[in-house]
Amino acid sequence: MATLAANQTRLLATVLCTVAFAYLVWKISQSPEQALQFTFNGLSVGAVYALLAIGFTLVYSTVWFFDLYYGAAAALGAYGVFYLRSQQAVGGQYEVNSLAVNIIFGALVAGVVAWALHEGVGPRLRERCSPRLLRWLGGALAAATGVYTGIILAYPDELHLLLAPVVGLATAAAVVWLIYRVAVRVRRRIDPGADLRGMAIAGIGPGAVLGGYCGMALAGAPGSQLYLSWAVSCLLAATLGLALYRGLYVYMRERARTPLVMLVATLGVLLALTAFTTIVFHSAPRPLPDAFGSDPWTIGGANVKGFNVFTIGVAIAGFVGLLLLLKRTAFGKAVRAIGDDEEVAKVVGINTTAVIAVVFFIAALYAALGGVLSGHDTAIQPRMGLLLLLKGWIASVVGGIGNLWGAIVGGFVLGLIEQFGIWDLAGEWRDAISFVLLVLFLSFWPKGLLPRR
């Protein structure tokens, strides 16, 4: 009986796919230009869904519960850009700049920096320095970072000047690190006795020159403020994601007997942050300033925006970067070990709390970036995070929950199906098509296109 039901289900799924494919081929033959337009629109929208699905999959495959803050992170990323650049969006005056908001996020960053110093640097220095001295130095550095964050938020007109030193120092550090890594490889292959300290010191000169050049170039480029606001808003949303895990989810996971408790808790976080966003910005839709590539090109009869091409590239680059991080680094091995068995990972010495906190940071960063890119295409509103969360989840289901490859495939497939599905319908049907697709996949292909192995 069960075999007969399974065969009937497979037959029904085959018939539905055949009919849909035949209809699509017929429509494409009728209007190839329109098909090209829908293809491009589907890929650009699917790129946003893919970013959301990638971060969603990363969290779920590590801790095995659905973090609904993820939707709020997408909205915070978009509203962070509006907060810093509303002068450009509304024409001449900053619509919102709240001292309370600046203080809250400054304190948030200070707390996260203090925790990061305690977990990352503290264990290595405690044997060499006084614990009291370390606490004072760590507290001072964390407080300075929090004050610096508050100043950045309070003076968005000077964003390029305020961030120039940070960009310069980061560039210099990256150059020194890169030269050091090259020296390590040279020593392993050519001269095991080479002095690495000399190589690292030799990298300080080029690093200082390049870092100084980048900092000065940024300080003289006020047109970069919009794109710097992308980085600031995404980092703040990601920092909040890390803080929520370390300050709330850790303790709830220890006491929660079922994943349902965590689901309800994160739903409360999502609703609270949505309400907070509504209080600060009100419920009316808001525009973001025009980004580069807003003027369309005509290719094969389709209108193509450079910014949408950039969005597709960001999704692909984000996927490749995260894949390399998980496959080629010690951090990635730790993440995979925690996903397989968290208790065993603890036994072998992995600091699971710190690793999972970083996972939440990265995932929220992807969500916020997706919200920013989406916000430049459509007006933003406080409840946009819930819809983007659902689309990211649907894309994960379509691609295969827990599979990073499935996340990016599912995002693009969902975007394409949405666009082609409204060929003969109004645009308002797009969301309905997404949820019908979700029901079909849960019914016929619950493991998705690329099941997790």
Q: What is the pLDDT of residues 316-375, one digit of tens each?
A: 999 999 999 988 888 889 888 888 888 888 888 888 888 888 999 999 999 999 999 998
Of 25-39, 161-175, 371-385, 402-416, minimum mean pLDDT range:
25-39
**If you average pLDDT over residues 223-244, what whole number do you get?**
91
Residues 228 and 160: beta-carbon distance below 8 Å: yes
Backbone phi and psi for residue 378, each to the nearest 5 degrees, phi listed first: -135, 160
Residues 80 and 229: beta-carbon distance below 8 Å: yes
Decide: residue 250, CB within 10 A, 0-12 exposed, 13-18 middle, 19+ buried.
middle
What's residue 179's pLDDT?
75
**If you average pLDDT over residues 148-168, what whole number do you get?**
89
**If you average pLDDT over residues 60-85, what whole number do you get?**
88
Give the sign of the dihedral formed by CA 41, CA 45, CA 51, CA 53. Answer: negative
Pairing outcome for strands 296-299 and 302-305:
antiparallel
pTM for this entry:
0.90
**If you average pLDDT over residues 80-106, what whole number do you get?**
79
Q: What is the DSSP letter of 423?
A: T
259 versus 418: which is more confidently predicted?
A: 418
449: which residues sit within 8 A by CB, 6+ positions away? 398, 399, 400, 406, 409, 410, 413
CA gap 73, 369 in Å, rounded = 9
CA distance to 145, 179, 218, per residue, from 176 (Å): 23, 5, 20
What's residue 186's pLDDT?
64
**If you average pLDDT over residues 222-233, what whole number do you get?**
89
